Amino acid sequence: MKNKGLFFTIFISLMLLLAACGTSDTEQNTQEDTDQNSQQADDNETASTHWNEIEEAGEIVVGTSGTLYPASFYPEESEELTGYDIEIIKEVANRLGLEIKYETMAVDGMLASLNNGRVDLVINDMEITEERKKQFSFSDPYKYSYTTMIVRAEDHSGIETLEDLDGKKAGGGATTVFSQIAEHYGAEVVTYGNATNDTYLRDVDNGRTDTVINDYYLQSLALKAFPEFDIVLHPDLKFHPTEQAIVMPLESNVLNEKINETLAEMREDGTLTELSEQFFGGKDASKQPEEDIVEIEGLDL
């Protein structure tokens, strides 16, 4: 009888222990679910709040350079911004019933201005990259392109392959993807502030730099705008396909959804094609290029 009593006591103790453990696990899981739901609710509230603030103000603050022809620039003797990117965001804002306030700045400060709340979005031929997607929200692409380089006409600045960039000087912004490409191949990046295209191109022409690595469409139009410089697009180097999009703070889901819906309408009704052909010499940058473009191996963007 004593053994039976001892067994019964141990059995009851084990049951109580297991019940206690089960209760603890359940409480922990419940708390984790509560925390997760609370965080999700906070994220949803933040996403809605940003859009609600913009909608209530009736105005969206746009960061751009104003010096990137033909994406974002001031025509000669004009104080009104225009360009492919600018006309796109004007149309988006118009369809959403919003006015635009522009904040012009150097490209190096654009993403920081999103983080500190100075602007609601950035549009400036900004490339989508995996690293940027960890920190910011991107719209669907409004432009598809690839990368080229401007070199001196007489000798291509001594560059016949990407590997020949080693030891060369490349003009560009400090934080751009194009500067990362130059550095990847061993070039020295000569940085500028919010400089206009003629500054970059003149420096290749006079030998201060050897090349400017940038977007194909932008480079093509820049060359036509400054025929006095003895420079050309490199005839053999087409690399790093790109997608450009509007950039927003990471939590701006509602704003992103509304912009994507509007861009889809503009793509469907031909507005994107019409604007592209207007600014890119009849070419449709809103569609993916058919050229054979070289992917760069080992470049972490």
Separation between Cα atoms, residue 63 and residue 101, nearest integer Å: 9
Domain with CATH 3.40.190.10 in the chain: 53-142+245-279, 144-241
pLDDT of residue 47: 59
Distance of alpha carbon 118 from alpha carbon 219, whole angstroms: 29
pLDDT in tens, 19-34: 444 444 444 555 555 4
Residue 149 has a pLDDT of: 98
Q: Is the dihedral of CA 125, 128, 132, 137 positive or negative?
A: positive
Q: Phi and psi of 31, rounded to 5°? A: -65, -40
**pLDDT tens profile 149-175:** 999 999 999 999 999 999 999 999 888
C-alpha R_g of the chain: 27
For residue 14, with 0-12 CB atoms within 10 Å meaning exposed, 13-18 middle and 19 or more buried, which class applies?
Answer: exposed
Beta bridge partners of 72: 68
- pLDDT tens string for the chain (301 positions)? 444 444 444 444 433 333 444 444 444 555 555 444 444 444 455 557 899 999 999 999 999 999 999 999 999 999 999 999 999 999 999 999 999 999 999 998 999 999 999 999 999 999 999 999 999 999 999 999 999 999 999 999 999 999 999 999 999 988 899 999 999 999 999 998 888 889 999 999 999 999 999 999 999 999 999 999 999 999 999 999 999 999 999 999 999 999 999 999 999 999 999 999 999 999 999 999 888 899 999 888 8
Model pLDDT, residue 45: 55
Inter-CA distances, 192 with 67, 179, 237, Å: 12, 11, 24
Q: What class, spelled out in words, does domain 53-142+245-279 have in CATH?
A: alpha beta
Model pLDDT, residue 255: 97
- Model pLDDT, residue 229: 97
Q: Residue 31's pLDDT is what? A: 52
Whether residue 215 contacts residue 84, with contact meaning beta carbons closer than 8 Å, is answered with no
- For residues 132 and 250, give the distance between their C-alpha atoms in angstroms, rounded to a whole number: 10
Would you say 122 and 110 are in contact if contact means Cβ atoms under 8 Å apart? yes
We find that the CATH architecture of domain 144-241 is 3-Layer(aba) Sandwich (3.40)
Q: Is the sign of the CA dihedral 100, 101, 105, 107 positive or negative?
A: negative
Q: How far is CA 282 from the centre of its chain?
A: 25
